[in-house]
Amino acid sequence: MFPILYLLFATVLCNGEFMRPPPGKMILTRHAESSSYPQQVHISAVGTDHMRVSWITTDKRVPSIVEYGTDSGTYDMTATGEHTSYRYFSYVSGKIHHVNIGPLLPDTVYYYRCGRVGDEFNFKTPPAVLPIDFVVAGDLGQTEWTASTLYHVNQSDYDMLLLPGDLSYADTQQPLWDAFGRFVEPYARKRPWMVTQGNHEVEAFPVLHDLHPFAAYNSRWPMPYQESGSPSNLYYSFDVAAAIHVIMLGSYTDFDSNSAQYNWLVADLAKVDRSKTPWLIVLLHVPWYNTNLAHQGEGESMRKAMEDLLYKARVDVVFSGHVHAYERFMRIYNNKADQCGPMYITIGDGGNREGLALEFEKDHKSAHLSVFHEASFGHGRLKVINGSSAHWSWHRNDDSVSTMRDELWLESLSSSSACNVGSHFVASSDHYEL
């Protein structure tokens, strides 16, 4: 609690103005239990009624088994999974366990134990139907400000956390991946965390062919890419609450029209029936629209390659990170306001160690499209109420109760008569096929 209180004290009002907080100190969370005790426990959704439970042990003899049930202390179900490990220079990871459990009931608390060792944990499954509450937080890291963000997140219940890249900020220092896993475990073991990669996950050395990029990320944080027909853990999709299709794209893998990711995205969008799935949400790391001085133009090549697909599919909102600030744009297509384009939101303010991106360009070509921006740490919440309405809010970490600094109601494009949203996306046409 001390880092949070320290930061709250440091973020004082000066002459009535909010002072921009400095970068927070790193918090290195250590493992204090036995070598067989599960650490870095986190869960992710697999399909509509399964969860993947992931954890690490330094004892290689611990079985990849999860015992679980709906009553505390009573485990009437058991699942066996798989394990992996990886080497990075002289670093050798522990035994990384991944176990899929289910089928599970929706909106239900399950109690579970990993590897038949250690304490009992619990999680709640997402609801089968709307409404549903998402937390969105990017560029998280493991600093005092990250602790503040997660503290604020935990003040209100939610169903799932979406993270558009930059998790641990290990940057090749592999023990920091372990510290990050322990740091987020109290939260990530209770609700599914769905993530995509950012630049800090790459960890590649081009001259060393034995060190594959994303080795730590792919080993520690597998997402349901195979279930969505994707060939790579770097991009995938999933459905939730029988009304929302979420697509996670990879900013740091090929995305041109000849790439595997592009072809997968075309096929994935074609499978979405908007009459049954009214909401379409996309997350990626590098923003396509950005008036901050930081990372100017870095998302332009991906925007040019893929923006047409998202526009024709009538994507409702695109979340990104990378820029360490918050910025919300109006609905856009091809650098112009368009009521049928996605709303673009940058939320790279989770608490990273590099600090905030403080300067926005007043004369930027996209400044007239930017509705609200602020360089502060915080998190967002998306509450999807029904097939046509959702509430978005952004919460700044400026006092003991997170302050809501931005909010609006969203109308799904599938419910808009002006946007001609038919049932299925057709990539080769300028319209929808009914």
Assign 58 to helix, strand or coil. Answer: coil
In this predicted structure, what is the pLDDT of residue 352?
A: 93
Statement: residue 11 has pLDDT above 80: no
* Residue 81 pLDDT exceeds 80: yes
Helix (H) or strand (E) holding 5: helix 2-10
Residues with catalytic roles: 295
Give pLDDT, residue 4: 45
Separation of alpha carbons 432 and 434, rounded Å: 6
Query: Model confidence over 377-419: pLDDT tens digits?
Result: 999 999 999 999 999 999 998 766 778 999 999 999 999 999 9
- Could you write out the DSSP letters of every residue in 145-175? HHHHHHHHHTTS--SEEEE-S--S--TT-TH
Kindly list the distances between the CA atom of residue 285 and the CA atoms of 77, 148, 324, in Å, as whole numbers in the listed order: 37, 22, 11
Average the pLDDT over each of 94-103, 232-241, 392-401 and give the range with the smallest value: 392-401
* DSSP assignment letter at 183: H
Backbone dihedral region of 7: left (phi > 0), alpha (psi from -120 to 50 degrees) or beta? alpha
Residue range 74-101: mean pLDDT, rounded? 97
Whole-model pTM over 0.95 = no
Give the residues across from 55 on adjacent strands. 97
Task: Over range 147-158, report the average pLDDT.
Answer: 95
Nearest to 210 by CA among 85, 87, 83: 87
What pLDDT is attached to residue 281? 98
Q: In the prediction, which pLDDT does 82 show?
A: 98
